[in-house]
Amino acid sequence: MSKQEVIICRNVGEDLERAVSSHAYDRLFVVADEHTARCCLPLVRDIPCMRDAVPVCIGVGDMHKNLESLAYVWGQLSEKGATRHSLLVNLGGGMVTDLGGFAAATFKRGIPYINVPTTLLSMVDAAVGGKTGINFNGLKNEVGAFAPADQVLIDCGFVRTLDRDNVLSGYAEMLKHGLISDTAHWSELLAADMEHIDYDLLQRLVARSVQVKEDIVAQDPRERGIRKALNFGHTVGHAFESFAMMSGRPVLHGYAVAWGMVCELYLSHVQAGFPSDKLRHTVAFIKENYGRIGFTCRDYDTLYELMKHDKKNVSAGVVNFTLLADVGDIRIDQTASQETVYELFDFYSETMG
């Protein structure tokens, strides 16, 4: 898998102009959702390379990260004259970069694309690393491909357009990167004031967070080994996310991951010896900033079934986890009994209130 170029922008207009100009293309397309088409596309529309770009607009939210939206993008590319030599720019959050990247990877057997993430979550997670895909059959990211963008342009100026919930959603993935990297970065993330955001500090933290992910992806681009570290918090987190969607109360991805990390830190403590003081500090930060997801013991069976369908599992019916023996001390391909999984749900309910 080819390595993508990640650019921490000083001037998004100049950087996007250079990135687009580095490609020999016949037509340029921009995929955005209805929100980013309204709020973010005007910020880049006057860049010379973007003036003739053909917009392709899809619906807002994870419910639109589906086969119907993907087919619509394919259809627009075909109707508007895209060829194997066309270029696609994805302007938006993780839903846009995931779906747009998958459209690019599959149209005409693959056309080049550039990601311009506009949410904190997509900057530090979805837009970087080469994973693309859609939700299918009620399951998150069930269908997709490894197909990295040629360039990813990260400009934290877009973060100023976000509400606090969406900032926190992205910050959860940054906290995960802190937990799987080193104590200094983890401590710095926990110390940040999320009520009064310092955007200069955030830009620096984002750059470090992206570097953590890039380093891991470079070692294991197709997730056969250490890249599984990036799944920390996601086994339970994806179950929470699917459960919330099934219940008609969808939650932001980062919130589900934050709650999943509470559970998987407890499992790390029980099975790998993760230090109790670091467990308490991290859980306290998550409780203070993310609240909790509501479920009862009657929902344990449903949550467990969702975890059994997670694509990270290596054997049918056996739930696979990434655990931590300490901050930065990663244990991939760990399993837990159903009884232990129900215990971590108990821990979550008792600890999160």
User: How would you write 149-211 as a 3-class SS string?
Assistant: CCEEEECHHHHHHCCHHHHHHHHHHHHHHHHHHCHHHHHHHHHCCCCCCCHHHHHHHHHHHHH
Q: Which of 255, 247, 90, 238 is nearest to 172 (CA)?
A: 255
- Give the pLDDT mean for 40-66: 94
Residue 81, both tokens: 């004259």
The pLDDT of residue 1 is above 70: no
131 given a catalytic annotation: yes
CATH code of domain 5-160: 3.40.50.1970
Residue 256 · residue 153 · CB < 8 Å: no
Active-site choice (140, 234, 269, 331) = 234
281 given a catalytic annotation: no
**Could you report the per-residue pLDDT of 257-287, keeping only the tens digit for each?**
999 999 999 999 999 999 999 999 999 999 9
Active-site choice (131, 177, 228, 278) = 131
Which value, to the nearest 10 degrees, does the dihedral of the CA atoms of residues 277, 279, 281, 287 take? Answer: -150
234 given a catalytic annotation: yes
Q: Which of 106, 92, 28 is nearest to 64 (CA)?
A: 92
The pLDDT of residue 82 is above 90: yes
The pLDDT of residue 316 is above 90: no
- Give the pLDDT mean for 94-117: 97
140 given a catalytic annotation: no
223 given a catalytic annotation: yes
Distance from C-alpha of 101 to C-alpha of 268, rounded to nearest angstrom: 34
Computed over every residue of the chain, the mean pLDDT equals 94
Distance from C-alpha of 234 to C-alpha of 135, rounded to nearest angstrom: 15
Confidence class for position 140, pLDDT limits 50, 70, 90? confident
- Give the pLDDT mean for 179-192: 97
313 given a catalytic annotation: no
Distance from C-alpha of 322 to C-alpha of 332, rounded to nearest angstrom: 5
238 given a catalytic annotation: yes
Active-site choice (253, 269, 278, 309) = 253
The pLDDT of residue 2 is above 70: no
- Give the pLDDT mean for 198-221: 93
Distance of CA 47 to the CA centre of its chain: 28
Q: Which of 187, 177, 283, 190 is nearest to 229 (CA)?
A: 177
- Give the pLDDT mean for 283-301: 97
Higher pLDDT, 160 or 287: 287
Distance from C-alpha of 57 to C-alpha of 76, rounded to nearest angstrom: 9
Distance of CA 152 to the CA centre of its chain: 14
Distance from C-alpha of 135 to C-alpha of 298, rounded to nearest angstrom: 26
Which value, to the nearest 10 degrees, does the dihedral of the CA atoms of residues 84, 87, 252, 43 take? Answer: -160
pLDDT of 353 reads 84
pLDDT of 66 reads 97
Query: What are residue 38's phi and psi, to 5 degrees?
Result: -85, -40
pLDDT of 138 reads 81
Residue with tokens 């807002």: 60
pLDDT of 4 reads 85
Active-site choice (35, 227, 269, 309) = 227
Q: What percent of the chain has pLDDT over 70?
A: 98
Residue 192, both tokens: 């940040």
The pLDDT of residue 256 is above 90: yes
**CATH homologous superfamily of domain 164-352?**
Dehydroquinate synthase-like - alpha domain (1.20.1090.10)
Q: Which of 219, 55, 194, 38 is nearest to 118 (CA)?
A: 38
Active-site choice (173, 269, 278, 331) = 173
pLDDT of 139 reads 81
The pLDDT of residue 193 is above 70: yes
Active-site choice (177, 213, 269, 331) = 213
- Give the pLDDT mean for 214-221: 92
Count CB-CB contacts under 10 A for residue 53: 20
- Give the pLDDT mean for 27-31: 98
- Full-model pTM: 0.89
Active-site choice (135, 141, 208, 223) = 223
pLDDT of 161 reads 85
* Planar angle of CA 256, 40, 21, nearest 5 degrees: 110
User: Three-state DSSP class for 76?
Assistant: helix
pLDDT of 65 reads 96
227 given a catalytic annotation: yes
Domain boundaries, the chain: 5-160, 164-352
In the chain, the N- to C-terminal Cα span, in Å, equals: 44
pLDDT of 315 reads 65
The pLDDT of residue 310 is above 80: no
Active-site choice (109, 196, 224, 298) = 109
64 given a catalytic annotation: no
pLDDT of 318 reads 84
Q: Among 147-161, 310-324, 336-350, which stretch is predicted with the lowest mean pLDDT? A: 310-324
pLDDT of 311 reads 65
